[in-house]
Amino acid sequence: MHELTAQFTTSLYPLPPSLYAAPPADPPAPPVPPVTPTPPEPSSPENGSQVAATPPPASPAAPPTIDPRAWEDFAAFRETFLMYFTPPGYAAALRTVGEMLHTMILESYNPWPGWPESSTRTEMRAALADLRHLQGFLASVGRERELSSLDPEDAYLSNVAAKLSRQIGHAADGIERELDGAPAAKPEGVR
Amino acid sequence: MKRDPKPATRTEEPYQPPAPFSWEERAVFRETLLFYFTQPEAATVLRKVGTLLYDMTLGACGEWPEWPESQTRSELRAAVADLFQMQGFLSSIWEDGELSAALAEDLPLCKRALDWSRVVARVAREIDGALGPIPGEV
C-alpha cells in the first residue's frame, strides 16, 4: 500500500518548480498554495465544483486564492467582475455557472468551425487579449490616485498598480511581437 | 487544451481578440473562454452580453454589502486572482509543448509561454505582497 500511495500522490506531469518560485529572489515568497502535499484538485470528485477551490473566505466579498494549476475552474468570469457580487453566495454561484459553461463548451465544440490558426496561436491571442484587459484594469486602478481622494496607503497601491500595468503591457507587447513573427526580447524579470 | 491543434475546418470570420485598453467593454467574460466560440459573431455577441451584465451589476451593487477593504484594495485582490488564473493558462500552453500536444512550429511559442507565465506570476506576487493579508485573516 505504501508504494501505491506514493504512486498516486505524485502528479503525472508536474509543473516545473520555477513556475512557482520564479524569479527566486524578487519578489519574495509566492502566496500560491504549496506544491506538496498536494491538496485535492478543486474540481476533483472529492470536492465537487470549483466553488470549493478555496476554503470559504473570511468575508463573502473576498476573491478566491487561485491555484494556477486550477485555472480551468475559473475559466469564464473575470474575478475583477465577480468582485462586485458581495452578497454571500452570489459570486460562488456565478463561478459555478462559469465552470458549467466551460464544461459545456469543451463537450460541444467539435461541430463548430475551426480556427484560422493553430490552437496554440489562438490560445496565445486570447491570452494576449486578457493581458490587455488586465493592463487596462490595473491602469485604471493606477489613475484612482489622480481622480479620487485616496488615503496614503491606497495611493501607494494605486501607484503600484500603475507601474505593474506597464509591466503587463510589456509582456503583452512581447506576445504580440511573437505572434506577428517579429523576434521578441526576453520578458522583463525572467532569468 | 483538448482541441485539435490544427482543425480542418476554417471559419471565414475567425475569433477576433478585442482592441487594447477597452477593458470595460470586456469586463465579464475571459477571452480565454470566448475564443472557443468560432461561429461568426458569437464572441462579439457574448461580449455585448457581458457589457450589459457589467452595466447592470454596476447599477445594482450600490445596494449590496460593502467590501471588507477599500475599493482600491478590493480591485487589486481581484486582479491578483485573475493574474494567477492567467499564469495557469499560459503555463498550460507551455505544458502542451512539453507533452508534444502542439504543432512543431508552435513549440518556440509554447516555450515562450512559460516566460510570460513567470512575468504574470511575478506581478501577481508583487501586488499580493503590497496588499498583505485580508483584515481578519491570518
> How high is the pLDDT of residue A180?
87
> How high is the pLDDT of residue A16?
38
Is the pLDDT reported for residue A43 higher than 60?
A: no
A55 contacts on B by Cβ (under 8 Å): none
> How high is the pLDDT of residue B25?
86
Is some CB atom of chain A closer than 8 A to the CB atom of B46? Answer: no
Contact assignment for B134 to A67 by CB distance below 8 Å: no
**Contact criterion met (CB below 8 Å) for B64 and A86:** yes
> How high is the pLDDT of residue A48?
38
> How high is the pLDDT of residue A8?
38
Q: CA dist B22 to A102, A127, B19, Å?
A: 24, 15, 6
Matching residue, cell 493574474:
B83
Matching residue, cell 507601474:
A163
Contact assignment for A141 to B28 by CB distance below 8 Å: no
- Give the bridge partners for B29, in sequence order: A77
Cβ count near A36 (within 10 Å): 9
Query: A23: cis peptide before it, omega within 30°?
Result: yes
Provide the sign of the torsion angle of the four alpha carbons A191, B1, B5, B10, taken in this order.
negative
pLDDT per residue as tens digits for the range A18-42:
333 333 333 333 444 444 343 333 3
pLDDT per residue as tens digits for the range A80-135:
999 999 999 999 999 999 999 999 999 998 889 999 999 999 999 999 999 999 99
- Give the bridge partners for A77, in sequence order: B29
Residue A98's identity, in one-letter code, is G
Per-residue pLDDT of chain B (138 residues; tens, 9 = 90+): 445 554 544 455 555 655 555 788 899 999 999 999 999 889 999 999 999 999 999 999 999 999 999 999 999 999 999 999 999 999 999 999 999 889 999 999 999 999 999 999 999 999 999 999 887 775
Q: What is the DSSP letter of B29?
A: B
Contact assignment for B11 to A114 by CB distance below 8 Å: yes
Contact assignment for A125 to B35 by CB distance below 8 Å: yes
Left, alpha or beta for A11 (phi > 0: left; psi -120 to 50: alpha)?
Answer: beta
Angle between helices A152-180 and B71-98 (to 10 degrees): 30
Is the pLDDT reported for residue A183 higher than 60?
A: no
A32 contacts on B by Cβ (under 8 Å): 84, 121
Contact assignment for A120 to B33 by CB distance below 8 Å: no
Give the residue from B1, B2, B61, B120 with the most A CB atoms within 10 Å of its CB, the best one to mutate: B120
> How high is the pLDDT of residue B100?
84
Q: Which of A8-12, A71-75, B26-30 comes out lowest in average pLDDT?
A: A8-12
Is some CB atom of chain A closer than 8 A to the CB atom of B51? Answer: no
Q: How many helices (H) and strands (E) does chain B have?
A: 4, 0
